[in-house]
Amino acid sequence: MAKKKDDAAGRPRGGFKASRHGTGKASAAGPKAEQKRAAEARERSGARHESAEKSKYLRGPRIDPRAIDGSESAADLIDNAFLAYNAARLREACGLFTKKMLEPDVTVGMTLTGALTPAGLGMAALIPLIESGFVDWIISTGANLYHDTHFGLGLAMHRGNPQESDVVLREEGVVRIYDIFFDYDVLLSTDAFFRKIIQGKEFQRAMSSAEFHNLCGKYVREREKALGLGQKSLLSAAYQAGVPIYTSSPGDSSIGMNVAALALEGNKCLIDPSLDVNETASIVLTAKRGGGKSGVLICGGGSPKNFMLQTEPQIQEVLGIDEKGHDFFLQITDARPDTGGLSGATPAEAVSWGKIDPDRLPDAVVCYLDSTVALPLLTAYAHARHKKRPLKRLYDRRSEMMKLLRSEFERAGK
């Protein structure tokens, strides 16, 4: 094979392909002097720049937003101005959620970590998502459900200044969650409510956390009605809509602490984590059978994130049932994989565990953003761009879904 000759500057010839205009296509790997002269010649001639070749990497829409004038809806702002960096990831997340995850055949599971309900996001975002049929089941920290109950009991949370002295706040009987302030008696009153209802006859047995929260939601709803509050509590809304709510760590909250305190007095209420593991797996398996799909919306990380994603390894690795992983993956997080905070839960890494279907990686978005910013915007976008879905009422179908799981487990064992 003939060796290419070098140009006068010692660079290989043939690295700069001329276009029909004679100006050539520039590349950072091409001959710099020729590219510079071509650009200058084009500028002198007044010729309009045109790419010599259409790269597949340049097929995205041009960045050319209209000016923001205050007339935009939240959804319009996201579509028009969220064009790069994490703003673009949030736009992609909104698109994935509304265009794919909210299709009728998709079952949407959501996880909640961080103090979202104390900030009012239960009322502002989570209840609207449930009532519109946009979220079918939930895994939450117990703390989010405990602080959510304050609102259903008519107890007040206030905006405050995070720079205030915590010593002074303690003397004043004020509890602080960053910039959320509330009276210490809010905790005592909520504890008293849970201890009262958990002593009821229907609580005196082993149950999944979904059963426990459904019962709690019934009593919170009764209190809301008695106080004339309207729909303030996530627990209450989930009870009404038949949305099962699980918690991956039942003892890791004030609700669990009160259950434990009553156990010292002989109370028989027991939240069984094995029921939770199998029930959540049955939800995902049922979603995937018959051509359906499973989508996960992960707000934050922590134990609820893993509990949601482990449903697929439970089905495949532990129960031996043929499956491929969740179809849609949307995560809002401020954690990083290299520090361990996001370990095992980036979409690509989750593929190796069987948590995510490798064929569906394009349908995975990680938005590195505070959930208190992203969740209201995602909720507004979904309501603006998608009609309501019929409620799946998965809580009412738990026996049916567990029957399917047992059947496939037995078949796999044989």
If you write DSSP's letter for every residue of 238-298 in order, what string do you get?
A: HHHHT--EE-S-TTSSHHHHHHHHHHTTT---EE-HHHHHHHHHHHHHHHHGGG-EEEEEE
**pLDDT tens-place string over residues 42-95:** 888 888 776 655 678 888 888 999 999 999 999 999 999 999 999 999 999 999
pLDDT in tens, 342-352: 655 666 666 66
Average pLDDT, the chain: 89
pLDDT of res. 51:
62
Please give the full DSSP string across 156-197, using - where no structure is assigned: --EE--TTS-HHHHHHTTEEEETTEEEEHHHHHHHHHHHHHH
Q: Where are the domains of the chain?
A: 74-413
Question: Above 80 in pLDDT, residue 30?
Answer: no
Catalytic residue among 355, 387, 388, 403: 355
- Going by C-beta distance under 8 Å and a sequence separation of 6 or more, which residues neighbour residue 175? 169, 181, 182, 183, 184, 186, 187
CATH tag, 74-413: 3.40.910.10
Which tens digits make up the pLDDT trace of 122-165? 999 999 999 999 999 999 999 999 999 999 999 999 999 999 99
* 3-state DSSP assignment of residue 4: coil
The pair of structure tokens assigned to 54 is 């259409």
Is 196 one of the catalytic residues?
no
- pLDDT over threshold 60, residue 22: no
pLDDT at position 259: 97
Residue 292 or 31, more confident: 292
**Local confidence band at 193 (pLDDT 50, 70, 90 cut-offs):** very high
